[in-house]
Every structure is written in C-alpha cells, then in structure tokens.
Amino acid sequence: MMPPLIWLHEDCLRASHNLFDHAPEAKAVFIWDDAYMNAMHYGLKRRVFIYESLCQLPVEIYKGDTATSLAQLAQDGQDIITGKTLNPALKAIMAVIRENTKLSAIADVPFVQMDSPPDLRRFFKYWNKAKKQAFSYDGRP
C-alpha cells in the first residue's frame, strides 16, 4: 500500500508531531504559497522565520498554490495527511483538497485531556478544571 503524502503547514512545523508517527516512511512537503501568506498579512519577518524552520525539517519545499501543488505532488490514489488546525484559511484549503483526495488531519499531543468540555466563559473556570492534569507529565490523569 502506498504511503500517504505528508503536507506540513505552518501550524505543525515539528518532526516529532504525531503526524510523522502515522506515516514514518512518507514523503513530507510544504507548499510555499505566496497568495496564502499575503492573505494572512505575513511580512518578511514571519516568512523568514517559517523558512528557517523548514530548513531543519525532513520536508521538501515547493512554491505554488497549495491545493494545486498538492494535487500535482500526490500520485494517483495517494492519500494526504496533515496536522489538525483551527486556522480557517487552511481548513478552506483542506476542503478543496478533499474534493478529489482523501485527506486526514492529525491532532497534536494535547496539553490536557478532559472528559467533558470545560466552562470557557472565563479563564479561571477553565483553569480550575484543567490544572489537575496540567501538572502531570504528558497531561495524563
């Protein structure tokens, strides 16, 4: 079975991200998407920071539109896996990719694991529940 293509985006620039455990042999790519970065209002400071980070990762960098480039890089029938994100711009790109390709978004290791959703109206309502695990190694009960 063909390993998936790993798509690294700006929210998951770490070789120890769960993403790589899902497909240890897979090729990883990052798409340098100038239109995306302009839409995010990223100036040269952020662009250099991201590029420097990529240079230390097992990833190949390609320039172009993200969805179009990934469609070209993924071989016939090859799935894509990427890091889970809340970023609406990246989620929109994922929706486009999913029109033709199976794409799975893998979550990072959580800070704390909660059985039920915390009260998020104010920080200390969250913290009173989260702190039981926040001081545990790997946030485990």
Q: Any contact of residue 78 with other proteins (CB under 8 A)?
A: no
- Indicate the residue among 1 and 86 with the shorter CB distance to other proteins: 86
| Token output for 92 | 């929109």
* Minimum CB–partner distance for residue 4 and other proteins (Å): 18
What 3-state DSSP class applies to 128? helix
- Indicate the residue among 2 and 15 with the shorter CB distance to other proteins: 15
Which x/- pattern over 112-131 shows residues binding other proteins (rule: CB under 8 A)?
Answer: x----xx-x--x--xx--xx
Residue with tokens 């985006």: 9
Please, what's the largest Cα pairwise distance for the chain? 50
Q: Any contact of residue 65 with other proteins (CB under 8 A)?
A: no
Interface pick for other proteins out of 5, 6, 7, 17 (rule CB under 8 A):
17
Amino acid at 129: K
Q: Any contact of residue 24 with other proteins (CB under 8 A)?
A: no
Interface pick for other proteins out of 39, 102, 109, 132 (rule CB under 8 A):
109
The dihedral sign for the CA sequence 70, 72, 73, 78: positive
What is each CA distance from 57 to 40, 47, 110, 138, in whole angstroms? 23, 16, 22, 24
